[in-house]
Amino acid sequence: MQSRERLNSINNELAKKGYTQARVARELGVTPSSVTNVCKGTSKSRRIEDFISNIIGMSIGDMPVQSRERLNSINTELAKRGYTQARVARELGVTPPSVANVCKGTSKSRRIEDFISNIFRMPPGDAPMPSREHSNPINHELARRGYTHARVARELGVTRPSVSKVCRGTSKSRRIEDFIANIIGVPPGDIWSHRK
C-alpha cells in the first residue's frame, strides 16, 4: 500500500470518529509528525497504532485501500464519457477531493458512487461498459477519442472555458473549431452547420 493512500485512508476513518492526527497526538502526548509517520507506515509505534486502531475499530494494517490504478482507471473511464472528477463534483455540489477519495476507495459516499455508476451505466466495481450517448455530440465524439476540453485547451494553449463555449456553440473560434474537427474527422462546417 502506498504511504499517501494509507495516510488518506486512516485520516478518513479518524474523521468519521471525530478525530484528526493532531488530536491523536495531543491525547497521546506525542508530536503530530510521529502520528503522520505511523499513519503513512514510514515508522512504527505500537502505542500510536493501538490507539488509532481502537478509535477506528480495526488494525491500521488492515485498512481497505484501493490503489492508484483504480483512480486512474476511473478517471480514464470518466474522460471517455466527457467527465472529470471536477465536473462530477460540480454537478453534485461536492468538493473535488470528496470525489477523488471515493474514486480511490478511501472514503464512501453512496451519492457519489451512484452518480459515477450512472455515468458508466454499471454497478460500482463492475467493469466499465461502452460509453453512453452524451448530451452534446461534440463532447461525446471528443471523449470517444480520449479528449476532454482541458486536453484540447492544453494542446492549443487556450483556456478550457474557451473550448467549452465553442463546443456548446455559444462562442466562435476558427482555431478551436478546426482542431476539434480534425480530432473528430469531420469538416468544421458539418459540426457547426447550425450557425451562420
Give me the mean pLDDT over the 69-80 stretch.
77
Give me the mean pLDDT over the 91-113 stretch.
82
Q: Render pLDDT for 116-158 as a digit per residue (tens, 0 to 9).
A: 877 776 544 443 333 333 457 787 788 778 888 888 999 999 9
pLDDT for the residue numbered 71: 73
Q: Which residue has the higher pLDDT, 30 or 43?
A: 30
Identical fold at 3-62 and 137-191?
yes
pTM here is 0.36
Q: 158 with 176: CB under 8 angstroms?
A: yes
∠ CA 195-157-148, nearest 5°, is: 65
pLDDT for the residue numbered 150: 86
Q: What is the mean pLDDT of the chain?
A: 79
- So what CATH class is 3-62? mainly alpha
pLDDT for the residue numbered 121: 67
Expressed in angstroms, the distance from the first to the final Cα of the chain is 56
The domain locations on the chain are 3-62, 68-120, 137-191
Given a cut of 90, whether residue 178 has pLDDT beyond it is yes
- Which CATH code for domain 137-191? 1.10.260.40
Look up the CATH architecture of domain 68-120: Orthogonal Bundle (1.10)
